Chains A and B, each alone.
Chain A
Amino acid sequence: MQFFKRQLPILLAFCVGLVLWAQYYSPSSLAQNLQQSFTAWAIILTGAALILGILSAIHHHWSKVSTQKPGYGYSLITLFCFSFVVLAGWFPSEPIAFGLLSRQYFISAVFVILGIILTVRYIPSVKANRASANHALGIMAALFGVVGITGLVVVVPLQRYLFTGLTIKENSLFDWVFQNMFVPLDATMFSLLAFYIASAAFRAFRARSFEATALLISGCIVMIGRVPLGEQLSFAIAGTDISFASVASWILNNPNAAAQRGILLGVLLSMVAISLRIIFGIERTYMGGAD
């Protein structure tokens, strides 16, 4: 077991690391195909891991709800929204041709019933013993796996006839939820950034030290030089007109760019070093063992 837990991952990291390093220097189709294969594997692994992620999120929120921890109402809303969006994805955009008993609805109903079964099995195990959460998670994973396999074996080959709603189209319920609920909420969170920038800038620009004063002055010059009105402004030194825009550009292109490149060089060299540490198995913390 120790071999599979420690030696094998290090061996894999060593081999794959060296192969991909060599691949960078080869333009051959073999090398390109190899890189594409590894990228495809990474995508597949991420897709598989997403199932674990969803299970983890459901488990986390359901634990809060079932034990009624403070703020469990938010978890309840999260679970409700999650179920609602999943169901919305199953509804087609076209008018229902066969009424409520269409085959598409039948399969959707099967999925919903399976979801209920999962939840019903999960609640008692969590209530009975907190330590059995892993066990409950295992059962959920297995059942979701069955649902997934059912979907793949039945739904995908026959989706043209049975499950056209899987394709997200305009005017579908899912599209409506995405455009009218998710996008505005997302934009609202993003727009908070403007207010946070104002409060952070207020703290940063207080001239308490030489560095803060230099930041304040250069920040003001760059701000003036970057707005349409400021671009037209200039000042005279020894009879020479100097525009704010040119000073702002100088600050950005010289001291600012120099500092950024300095940081970037350090980062890139560190990346090479950490890559070597991982390839040669010197750094193993990410594998779950510190030393």
Chain B
Amino acid sequence: MALPRSVCVRLCLAIPLVLALLTVSSLPATAQADLIASDALLIDRPNDDGTALLLTFAAETETPESTFVSPEVLVEGEWLPGSYRARKLVTVPSQADFPEYFGWYPTTPDHYVLTVDRYMTWVEPTAEELQDDPTLTASWEPAAFEPGETHEVRLVVGMGTDGQERVVQRLEAGSATTHEEWFNRAAANNLVLCALFAIIIMGFILAARRNPNLFIRRIQGLEAVDEAIGRATEMGKPILHLNGLDPLSTLSTIAAVNILGRIARRVANYDSTLLVPCFDPVVMTVSQEVVKNAYIEAGRPDAYREDNIYFLTDQQFSYVASVCGIMVRQRPAANFMLGYFYAESLVLAETGYTTGAIQIAGTDALAQLPFFITTCDYTLIGEELYAASAYLSREPMLLGSLKGQDVGKAFVMVMVIVGSILATVGVYLAQAGVESQIDWVWLSHMLTPLT
């Protein structure tokens, strides 16, 4: 039965209208009344390698906890997700949390910040991949941003949890281009302080060449090195040296190997036996070379035994078991434990204590220092480990660098004291309701690392 033409026209007009009304009524009240997010802005992320943009936006303070946000990226006319999953608004940081991007005083510190560095694409497995692995299925894969790319991004705001999520707002943030930076301006304070400190140290090294008589305070642990080696020689027992568990790329291991060289030269002079069981094969190779040269420089190349510097294992507690076995069976009269140690420090030092050996330890591992102090006769604490090589060699240029370090420490101490006084005065002034005319905050900002 055909409908009259006028009825058809009315239906054609009415159906879209009804659908539109239904769509509007299905939107939540917040979307109709007041929008959650506003002031969306897309900018290039500063001080980076040009692979990310920052999406900043303002949001109503009274938003429900179930509010979530997510970026979408326009790719070839299609809006694609900008992340694996949406993020709860309460977990999104604000501009005030990123001084490295927005400075210490951002104009809009409460604005939220989302990093957009990719878009997700739906990737179907190729025929070849399916041939290799038939279980492969299509999935969302990330496509990372590249430097120099321009992207248009919008913010998607949603609500709800447990499968009841619904989108309540889509907010255009505009477009921006990623730029690759060559210098990280946020690390400028670091560079300035580092350069200043380097100049001071180099200045003292040069000064030490002209005046080699520098005073360095006594370090008990290093004064006892000769005593320990002498005791082992008298008893006819070997000397055990451990370089710690870190690889040679760690400075504390380099410091330990430097000290090994100094100790080896003394051992060569005393004609004693030096055992160096190693945890790292690279450290073993370098230790062999260092000890060999120390013996040559001492005029005793014939006394050098490569067999005494060997690799044990690179497993922590297997190494401990092996070293403890050496301590108990060979009974070394002097144990040197220098470098970076972990949980094994106490097992090693306590076993050495039970064998009655004189023990000298040195580490910059703060958590292990109490164990060494408790169980060893002498402990080189932190920086003393790094000073040991210079101290033992008495080389003016090395001693000069120690002086430079002391000046650096004095500078830091002065800054800490001045900062403490200013902070304390600031608290009292604030309590008294006095507003300072000078902004001292720059001082703390200057010294606070941005990266």
Contacts and interface: CB of A to CB of B under 8 A. Distances in A.
A273 B204 CA distance: 11
Interface in A233-265: 260, 263-265
The A interface, classified by DSSP as helix, strand, loop or mixed, is helix
A53 interface: yes
B156 interface: no
Interface stretch (A87-95, A101-109, A189-197): A189-197
Contacts of B284: 49, 52-53, 56
B216 interface: no
Contacts of B254: 274, 278, 286
Interface stretch (B68-76, B164-172, B288-296): B288-296
A54 to B, nearest CB: 7
Contacts of A123: none
Contacts of A74: 325
Contact of B281 (A25, A52, A186): A52
B181 A28 contact: yes
A181 to B, nearest CB: 12
A67 to B, nearest CB: 10
A57 B251 contact: no
A97 interface: no
Interface string B281-315: 11011100110111001000000001100111111
B262 A285 contact: yes
A265 B325 CA distance: 36
Interface string A198-235: 01110110000000000000000000000000000000
Contacts of A99: none
B369 A263 contact: yes
Interface string B157-195: 000000000000000000000001111100100110010
Which of B181, B201, B404 counts the most A-chain CB atoms under 10 A from its CB?
Answer: B201
A290 B289 CA distance: 11
Contacts of A289: 293, 297
B49 A28 contact: yes
A266 B310 contact: no
A32 B51 CA distance: 12
Contact of A291 (B187, B247, B395, B409): B395
Contacts of A45: 282
Given A264-B382, A267-B386, A290-B293, A285 B307 contact: no
Interface in A27-67: 27-29, 32, 42, 45-46, 49-54, 56-57, 59-60, 63
B120 interface: no
27 contacts: A25-B184, A26-B181, A27-B49, A29-B180, A45-B282, A46-B247, A46-B282, A52-B285, A53-B311, A56-B310, A60-B307, A74-B325, A185-B321, A193-B343, A193-B346, A200-B350, A201-B374, A266-B409, A267-B383, A269-B412, A273-B404, A274-B255, A274-B386, A276-B202, A286-B254, A290-B265, A290-B293
In the A-B complex, the 3 residue pairs with the closest CB atoms: A53-B281, A270-B386, A53-B311
